[in-house]
Amino acid sequence: MKVVWRDIRAARNTYAVLYAACRKAGYQLDLSVSPDGDVTCYSLNSINEPQFRSEIRDAPGITIVGGPHASACPMEVAEYADYVIVGEGEKTLPRLLDAIRLQSPDPVPGVATSAGYTAPDHTVLLDGYPCFLEVKGYLEITRGCPHACAYCQTPRLHGRRMRHRSVDVIARAAELVSDARFVTPNALAYGSDGRTPRLDRVESLMKRLSAMNRIWLGTFPSEVRPDWISDEALELIGRYGAGRKIHFGVQSGSDRILTAINRGHTREDAEEALDLCRSHGFLPIVDMIVGFPGETEEDLGMTMDLIRSIIRHGKVHLHYFQPLPGTPLAGTEPTPLPPHVEKAFGSLALSGKITGYWMEPRRRFLSIPRDNEDI
């Protein structure tokens, strides 16, 4: 049975995960630029889903769709796809491929079809599956996030309980590369419950890898939270890490908006994190979002004020809010940016102080602008 993966730039991390899981189960998941073979697999987000809908509906073979959008709207996607994987796919996709190959009539847990949905019966234990390494060159060390920010699909896709790969498993994978780069929702939360830092466990990981790798922790795609940045954390990264940049998300300069989107930190936390980065000689790179529902001119002014503060000694990666299915803000309307604000951001972009897609929100998920960022 020939199984292919539809090559979509925004889904390459997912391909890396499932390539390894399928190979372990005896399936070769080859890349394809169009539907091909007996089965074609897709991973779609809520921005690129419309452009692939007709292709999937008209595909000559069996189609399997997963990803953030499919997990948020499984029965909608099941109207045009043969099978929809809800949530994580490492165990579900190989089981579904087995069922297709054997022509089994039994429903597969974690899969939706036009006939209905069967809930998953398992939790993915990360140590049971290879890291991203072979395809992407990153090491996924943690999954899940307890914070449940109102705009984010991560806890809806991977759950709110943090799961970590063990140091031994990560170290074995890291033997194959000289640079260790990580995938995690919060690099400083490694080994913890995501609420209380365990820097001793972060140090155990970094110390183990430092004997064989240059370590890039705290930079894309292993950002941190501002309220987790401390003297101790930065001293640890400085001791073992190779980079002098720290990437973290703040999202808004308004405490009212931060509370509304359930960020779990304040503007003061962000300002303290910026001061700590500068005092330890790190360049802060900060994610911000504008256009949240209900964002007032006063809120936006606070965000612009914080952005100006950041770029005096750092950089900003800026996005325009996009409501995503399955999140508390699904179905809400972004607040339009006033022309003078767009013009101001354009001027800052020309100076090289900010990057991002605040004027073209759809491009946020149709590309991966930071894959090759100088970190």
| Predicted local confidence at residue 129, as pLDDT | 85
The domain boundary residue, chosen from 63, 97, 118: 118
Same domain for 107 and 154? no
Same domain for 245 and 155? yes
Residue 21 lies in a domain: yes
Q: What angle do CA 328, 332, 338 make, to 5 degrees?
A: 130
- DSSP states along 76-139: HHTTTSSEEE-S--TTHHHHHHHHHHHT--SPPTTEEETTEEE-------GGGS--SHHHHS-E
Check if the beta carbon of residue 15 is closer than 8 Å to that of residue 43. Answer: yes
Domain containing residue 75: CATH number: 3.40.50.280
| Nearest alpha-carbon partner for 375 in 196, 269, 237, 266 | 237
DSSP E strands, 260-338: 283-290, 315-320
Alpha carbon 165 to its chain's center: 17
Which position has the token pair 């595909």? 59
| Predicted local confidence at residue 135, as pLDDT | 57
Same domain for 63 and 166? no
Same domain for 130 and 185? yes
Residue 333 lies in a domain: yes
The domain boundary residue, chosen from 62, 83, 118: 118
Same domain for 143 and 103? no
The domain boundary residue, chosen from 86, 118, 150: 118
Residue 329, Cβ density class (10 Å: 0-12 exposed, 13-18 middle, ≥19 buried):
buried
| Predicted local confidence at residue 362, as pLDDT | 44
Residue 373 lies in a domain: no
Check if the beta carbon of residue 43 is closer than 8 Å to that of residue 79. Answer: no
Count CB atoms within 10 A of the CB of residue 108. 21
Same domain for 146 and 44? no
Which residues lie across from 31 on neighbouring strands? Answer: 5
| Predicted local confidence at residue 83, as pLDDT | 98
> pTM of this prediction?
0.86
How far apart, in whole angstroms, are the C-alpha atoms of residue 330 and residue 332?
Answer: 6
Same domain for 193 and 303? yes
Same domain for 155 and 111? no
| Predicted local confidence at residue 138, as pLDDT | 85
Q: What angle do CA 313, 186, 247 make, to 5 degrees?
A: 15
Cα–Cα distances (Å) from 300 to 90, 303, 336, in that order, read: 41, 5, 11
For the chain (375 residues), the mean pLDDT of every run of 10, in chain order, is: 93 86 92 94 93 96 96 96 96 97 95 95 88 72 94 87 95 90 95 96 97 91 95 97 95 98 97 97 97 97 97 94 93 93 90 80 41 38
Same domain for 28 and 105? yes
Same domain for 91 and 46? yes
Which residues lie across from 140 on neighbouring strands? Answer: 183
Domain containing residue 238: CATH number: 3.80.30.20
The domain in which residue 228 lies consists of 126-366
| Nearest alpha-carbon partner for 247 in 228, 223, 271, 230 | 223
| Predicted local confidence at residue 320, as pLDDT | 94
Number of domains in the chain: 2
Cα–Cα distances (Å) from 322 to 65, 153, 259, 339, in that order, read: 22, 11, 18, 19
Phi, psi of 196 (to 5 degrees): -120, 120
State the greatest distance between any 2 C-alpha atoms of the chain, in Å, as a whole number: 62
Residue 372 lies in a domain: no
How far apart, in whole angstroms, are the C-alpha atoms of residue 195 and residue 127?
Answer: 22
| Predicted local confidence at residue 169, as pLDDT | 94
Same domain for 240 and 347? yes
Same domain for 113 and 244? no
| Predicted local confidence at residue 233, as pLDDT | 98
Residue 374 lies in a domain: no
| Nearest alpha-carbon partner for 304 in 293, 313, 291 | 291
Which tokens sit at 322?
A: 């996009």
